[in-house]
Structure 1
């Protein structure tokens, strides 16, 4: 208990990191003692411990390192303290005055040069910040200098501070042997390397001063957009947690690529730009609202919004275009029938369930503004009839997160997540656990339950025989990493800062889409084969995808969320958690997707009965309800969802063009 409490206070993950933190503290506490005694070998040992522990903690426990910084014990201060103690030791051991003066001078100059290097580095970064970032537009005409080499750019402070190692080692050797040569050599190396680093970076600063100006950048980008003439734009903003929310954009990319109209993607946060999936569609990231107004988007007729965000107003003010809320999934949450949606010209939903959901928001949304377009993203989901079961029933547990407030909290993790997984393991099933990307952001209880479930699955994997599984995972690892590297390359995630990505931006080869699909299929095949048919799996990354997890599962257990509505497309049995133990009739009346679901009580007493529907497929009383619910929630199978979505885009674009022509005619008259 004491160790766990100390880990929490120091923000370290376990006993190993706690030991490193204690070693770091003990080492720094020993330095002044050894310097004053004086004890040369004790000081050398303590100094080596602080160096090693410091580096290990930066890699293993960044939370602890940040806690030190809040106490004004950042890395620079720790290096300075170690240097001051070394000089005190040299004075106590009666080092020659010439050596002491030289050491004071070199160490002082070293820290001054480190400050100068930091200032120049920040100046270069500021100059390389452009008002926008693009992908899939040829901007080779812009005179953007190359990014400084990684040797000078990445983790520069760590590299610079460690240049004092030569001086420290030389001075300690001189104190031990009585010879001055090692001290002069070490001090010269430190001084020379520090000066060389600053001179090299100053050369990079001269190049950075030749960055193109704001007007030049916008002129070139607008020239390329005018040549492309985009007609439909996907607009996305989510500043707070853009990395976790980029799935809201990525799920629409393939649909946009197959439209008749020319698409463009507009992002508002630089962080989100780096987590965009593969696409040939031109992408423009414009952080500032004033800059967004300068983009050449006069040909855009339809703007699609996958999320409700405050920055949407910056695009909604474009009166010439039609604005459509498409969302990022149909669910029974409040977000899927938000009154804010009234600001859009139209709201596109998957099926009649979405229309009815908005009807319940009385006097807010006009029924004529609702258009049923289906869910084009669901094509990769295999039907129940095409599924081949494995030796053990596979249960996908995909709980939602705790929501922005308690009113919108539908997660089962807090009240019943851990006992649910314990009961599943007792039933001898294979569990795929895919929590929502935002799990634990608002609730410490949800984060604790998430960790407990992962530990349960890890322990059960060990019980089922880890040696064979680990060998298969190790064998598949290199090929999976190789495919991921190629996928990253095809996705357009170029290395370097934003300016470097702008420098290398080109119009992509659309034929790469076929290679992308083949590699994705190969990655998933190798991944699942290496995991085996009985091993539990915790899925946290973008790969494997949610829909590939659907295809692996015999049964879904989830909460009120769009995951359930998407899973309905497979016609496989699914379970909705009922953590508040509402009566079945009341629960089904409140939530549309419960119409075809098995309902699971908080104590999970119904779980064995539910699992019988998987083990004995003919004993599945909810099957006809799922078939009826599929059309109600997702719309008819014919025409296809993609066809309906494309038709809706074309119709609205034609309407926008007609209204614009009419307005021009009125102005002319």
Structure 2
């Protein structure tokens, strides 16, 4: 049995190497069709070492990075060829493939990179953090009260660009971490630069977004509602003729838990069937677009304790948060889950009533009061400008340091 497993692992490994080699050759050919990169060009690099499965973490930064590239030359530093090809085709940004740390070193030697941005905590970030000249900045891929948002790993970075005061309060729990010196509040630039999305009909229906997060990879991160709430939420919303349902599951849903994968398949089939029966309703299962267009296109949201909840909060539109079914999932009393009513799994079938209640003036006022705490100034364009200014300031600071 062990021999069979070992043989299968070797086959998978070999197939992966073949795919990688094919992707590298294709990326090289594609790069030859683009204008050559002139040494001395790039000032900001975005380090992304992951496979395409985690590209949702980077995709939400495409629009803010394009805005930054209009002011400072930006390059995405990918460590896998399949990822590099996808980013180059979709982002509109220059992409360099650096499979080895030697290639990273060449980039930093040829270009005056003064800021390196990181959207996740991949262990390969550590290989780039060794370089002293650039400022290393963690920008994350969403604001939330999930347990990992207050990780001791934050100490590895020179700065963390955070959403607002709530994030700084969360990070203050890290021992020996100087929040005042190492965090820069920027709001949520993605809200100011949403990605394109499909055109939904405007016919009087209430468009409700159900955006469950994934099941997590450890008990404290088990916030996902697909198994516990999903069937009842989807059935109740599809049964209401006044509702258009948009389901946008987390891209990693089902990767760690077979029950979640089964729920995902079951609900996808249910939404597709409803869309065929009632094409005029415009029900949509969305597992292809980048998240963000939903904020303006949808009227209300049902989601879990996740980054989606915090992005939606800024819209001030009706929001229903689910209560994690797992007793091990950490719900911070001072976080959003401790300040808003939570939808229990047993009450999931009454989600329409909860959405109605969430539209009442007192709940709208309660959510609006939280926006300032989580994001600060959310005047259109303010978050994006704070992000751009924060990067500019660090580039100037590191230029002066290197010159000195």
TM-score scaled by structure 1? 0.52
Q: Cα gap change, 1:458/1:654 in structure 2, threshold over 3 Å: closer, same or farther?
A: closer
Q: Work out the CA distance in 1 between the residues paired with 2:29 and 2:116.
A: 18
SS state at 2:342 partner: strand
CA contact (8 A) 1:423 1:604 kept: no
Quote the Cα distance in structure 1 between the aligned partners of 2:390 and 2:93: 20
Q: 1:254 to 1:580 in 2, by over 3 A?
A: closer
For 2:228, which of 401, 406, 415 is the aligned residue? Answer: 415
Name the SS of the counterpart of 1:293 in structure 2.
Answer: helix
383, 386, 390: which one pairs with 1:644? 386
Aligned-partner Cα distance in 2 for 1:281–1:551:
25
Cα distance, 1:399–1:368 mapped onto 2, change above 3 Å: same
Counterpart in 2 of 1:512? none
Q: 2:288 aligns with which of 531, 534, 541?
A: 541
Q: 1:449 aligns with which of 249, 263, 273?
A: 263
Q: How does 1:265-414 map to 2 (within 5 A)?
A: 265-276=76-87, 278-295=90-107, 296-380=109-193, 390-414=203-227
**Structure 1 residue 572: deviation in Å?**
0.6
In the alignment, the residues of structure 2 paired with residue 392 and residue 126 of structure 1 have an alpha-carbon distance, to the nearest angstrom, of: 49
- Tell me how far 1:253 sits from its aligned partner: 2.4
Could you tell me which residue of structure 2 aligns to residue 653 of structure 1?
A: 395
User: Do the aligned partners of residues 305 and 434 (structure 1) sit closer, same or farther apart at CA in structure 2, a change above 3 Å counting?
Assistant: same
3-state SS of paired residue (2:369): helix
Q: Closer, same or farther in 2 for the Cα pair 1:359/1:389, shift >3 Å?
A: farther
Q: CA deviation at 1:265?
A: 1.3
In structure 2, the CA distance between the partners of 1:247 and 1:333, relative to structure 1 (3 Å rule), is same
Q: Structure 2 CA distance, aligned partners of 1:264 and 1:436?
A: 27
Residues 1:568 and 2:313 aligned together: yes
**How big is the alpha-carbon RMSD for the aligned residues of Structure 1 and Structure 2?**
3.3
Task: Give deviations 1:449-470, integer Å, cap 9, x for gaps.
Answer: 1122123323434543xxxx3x
SS in 1 for 2:184: strand
Secondary structure of 2:61's counterpart equals helix
Q: Contact (CA 8 Å) 2:323, 2:344: kept in 1 or not?
A: yes
Contact 1:302–1:653 (Cα < 8 Å) also in 2: yes
State the distance in 1 between where 2:288 and 2:337 align.
Answer: 26
Counterpart secondary structure, 1:304: strand
Paired residues, number: 377
In the alignment, what sits opposite 2:362? Answer: 621
Q: Give the equivalent residue in structure 2 for 1:630.
A: 371
Q: TM-score, normalised by structure 2?
A: 0.83
Equivalent position SS for 1:646: helix
CA deviation string 1:530-567 (max 9, x = no partner): xx4x232111112xx43223333221111111111111
Task: Select the structure of larger CA radius of gyration.
Answer: 1
Cα 1:291/1:406, change in 2 over 3 Å? same
1:139 deviation in Å? 6.9
Gaps of 5+ in 1: 1-68, 71-121, 141-220, 470-531, 663-669
2-side partners of 1:332 and 1:578: how far apart?
Answer: 13
- 1:363-416: per-residue Cα shift (whole Å, max 9, x none)? 34543101101211112569xxxx997433222111000112222111011222
The 1:272–1:128 alpha-carbon spacing in structure 2 relative to 1, beyond 3 Å, is closer
Rounded to whole Å, the distance in 2 between the matches of 1:136 and 1:540 is 28
Residue pair 1:135, 1:284 contacting (<8 A) in 2 also: no
Pairing 1:658-669 to 2, within 5 Å after superposition: 658-662=400-404
Shift in Å at residue 350 of structure 1?
1.3
SS in 2 for 1:400: coil
Q: 1:460 to 1:323 in 2, by over 3 A?
A: same
Aligned to 2:58: 249
Listed one character per residue, the Cα deviations across residues 190-217 of structure 1 (whole Å, up to 9, x for unaligned) are xxxxxxxxxxxxxxxxxxxxxxxxxxxx
CA distance in 2, matches of 1:351, 1:136: 39
Q: Using CA pairs below 8 Å that are at least 6 residues apart, which structure has the higher relative contact order?
A: 2
SS of equivalent to 2:293: helix
Contact 1:131 1:291 in 2 (8 A): no
Structure 1 or 2: more helix by fraction? 1
Matches within 5 A, 1:90-239: 133=28, 224-227=37-40, 229-238=41-50
| Contact map agreement 2:147 2:220 (CA 8 A) in 1 | no
Q: Secondary structure at the match of 2:39?
A: helix
Matches of 1:326 and 1:134, distance apart in 2: 32
- Aligned-partner Cα distance in 2 for 1:298–1:339: 31
Contact 1:135 1:283 in 2 (8 A): no
